[in-house]
A and B are shown apart, each in its own frame.
Chain A
């Protein structure tokens, strides 16, 4: 796996010749990413007859392009209509949707596109160059370390709860409790399933996403003619290319933010099973922690949109690292790619880099080319996509309800999942109306079961010795980082308050009578 610039230049040039495969895959990925219930993994499964018929290199290019663009597609409805297409985009509406409501929908889209593309491209290049080292990350992140990583994401509940801590924590722990539904991983004991067999595998994420975000929002927005404020509507009607360009410039000015949050995504993506949902929440939480204006998060703050979008695209390249280096897929889509490669008789592992470098490095080249093509293809569409927000809620609400409910059905083909989405919609509606944050509930539902799995695994391996949680050096470093990241905002806020108080005291004599 030595670095050979000629090989990479040839590889990128060669991958560009597949533009006719990549472009349709990009549009397909954008569509399936944007629809809740669909995902790159589902679509690749549906299209297996096609990809299996292609030669392995072309099939891989197609799958990678679809995978990368679906990640970006998931952010579009999250920003425009508060419906995250996948769990990876669940943190996107926190600041993306308030921007839309204020009439900055297409600016938000432009910011999201640039963050996603830059984050994805950057992490692809890093993954390509640092593959031997990155592949080791999974060896160092065991159950104990992953527990702390999960807690980073879960601690976002505390940040979200900043305005009303008690309500935020109640919502978060309620979500964690709901996330605990299902059979436990060791004894398969059904817990809290209310007798529904459909819940034995736990609470499916898509109905939870659809219900908490889309259905609950749909029942609330009928009170207004449009999802936007009157001022926002005026802004949207007057908006043109200048606003799109403004969005690009705003995102470009956040290059450092994009860089480090996408690297968070890359590292989390390397860990098999971790996923974009965790990465997005952890990146959002970290972004807020180190922000000078944490109080602006959740109100349509640019950094709150940049962080999750960069991170979830960072995951995309991360999931390919363990797949190609050690043959362990980092996620569902990578697992299907493995199946396709194996069907063609390709043996994954370190030898592949010597025997077939085109196949081994190819996915990263395809990803880089996809991201390079995404911006010119999608950016001009931002202005038109955002027009969906001016559609009257009279027509938008029934459309959202019917299509998202059927989307909840798709992943498992259980009618039960549609009822579940409606139940989550009811919970979301009550939560929104009474000041509980639906994102806090969702964080619990998404991260709760993962946290429990890692916790049980750690306990099992240590024979129920709780001190195992503090038994590794890396784990302990992460614990310290976790406590610091929870504590720092309070310290900073305290210092800011003191500074403000000092400033007021200092200004009083001059300004006073």
Chain B
């Protein structure tokens, strides 16, 4: 789970990852300003106030960070963000599976897509072990969800072939 040991010298604190949120905040604030530049005063006042403070805070943070880097106390690596590197491939694969889930669920429907997602994600996280158990668990959870939310609560979950078919039968 830990990263590779480096040199004998105490490792520099890597603060590159800590800059992501502030930089994203400033980029978003500037974009936000661009959308309200021609708006009436009432639509601007709050955002300009909040955005200006955010930019000011980030400026202070960046100056502090720059001083640390110049002094050699810190580096700009992304180690904090990418810690537990051993899990990085799994995490990325899970992220891709999640995006696929969102894309497919719209037309695949809740039950089938959830079953497929649960099966693949659980297999991914268990390194392919317990296939039989995972298949039974994923099927139970997907069907349980269907019965509880769609049949029981008439919730507007995404409908697909399974829901349409059973909707006609039930």
Chain A residues proximal to chain B, CB less than 8 Å: 32, 38, 43, 46, 166-167, 169-171, 173-174, 176-178, 180-181, 184, 186-187, 189-194, 215, 219, 222-223, 393-395, 397-399, 401-403, 405-406, 409-410, 413, 415, 418-419, 422, 427, 430-431, 433-436, 448, 451-452, 455-456, 459-460, 464
Contacts and interface: CB of A to CB of B under 8 A. Distances in A.
Given A222-B90, A393-B125, A422 B57 contact: no
Q: Which of B80, B125, B126 counts the most chain A CB atoms within 10 A?
A: B125
B6 interface: no
Contacts of B54: 170, 173-174, 176-177
Given A177-B29, A399-B118, 4 more contacts: A38-B153, A167-B61, A406-B114, A456-B45
11 contacts: A177-B54, A180-B46, A189-B40, A192-B32, A215-B98, A222-B91, A401-B98, A406-B110, A410-B157, A434-B81, A456-B45
Given A397-B125, A435-B18, A464-B41, A177 B101 contact: no
Contact of B98 (A38, A191, A405, A460): A405
Interface in B1-19: 1, 17-18
A212 B93 CA distance: 20
B119 to A, nearest CB: 9
A167 B114 CA distance: 37
Contact of A46 (B31, B46, B101, B154): B154
Interface residues of B, number: 64
A173 B50 contact: yes
Contacts of B17: 430, 433-434
Nearest to B86: A223
Given A46-B153, A173-B54, A166 B43 contact: no
Given A406-B105, A433-B83, A189 B157 contact: no
A403 B145 contact: yes
B75 interface: no
Given A166-B61, A174-B25, A434-B17, A455 B141 contact: no
Interface string B50-83: 1101100110110010000000000000001101
A187 B41 CA distance: 10
A43 B80 CA distance: 42
Contacts of B118: 398-399, 402
A32 B57 CA distance: 40
A210 B69 CA distance: 36
B102 A418 contact: yes
Contact of A193 (B35, B134, B158): B35
B137 A192 contact: no
Contacts of A418: 102, 105
Contacts of B105: 406, 409, 415, 418
B58 A46 contact: no
B32 A222 contact: no
Contacts of A433: 17, 80-81, 83
Nearest to B141: A399
A418 to B, nearest CB: 5
A76 B154 CA distance: 23
Contacts of A191: 32, 35-36, 39, 43, 47
A194 B22 CA distance: 19
Nearest to B130: A394
A174 B21 contact: yes
Given A170-B25, A406-B157, A398 B61 contact: no
Contacts of A181: 32
A190 B36 CA distance: 8
A226 to B, nearest CB: 13
Contacts of A223: 1, 84, 87
Contacts of A186: 40, 42-43
B113 to A, nearest CB: 8
A401 B81 CA distance: 21
Given A434-B18, A434-B21, A448-B50, A398 B43 contact: no
Contacts of A32: 153
Contact of A171 (B21, B42, B110): B21
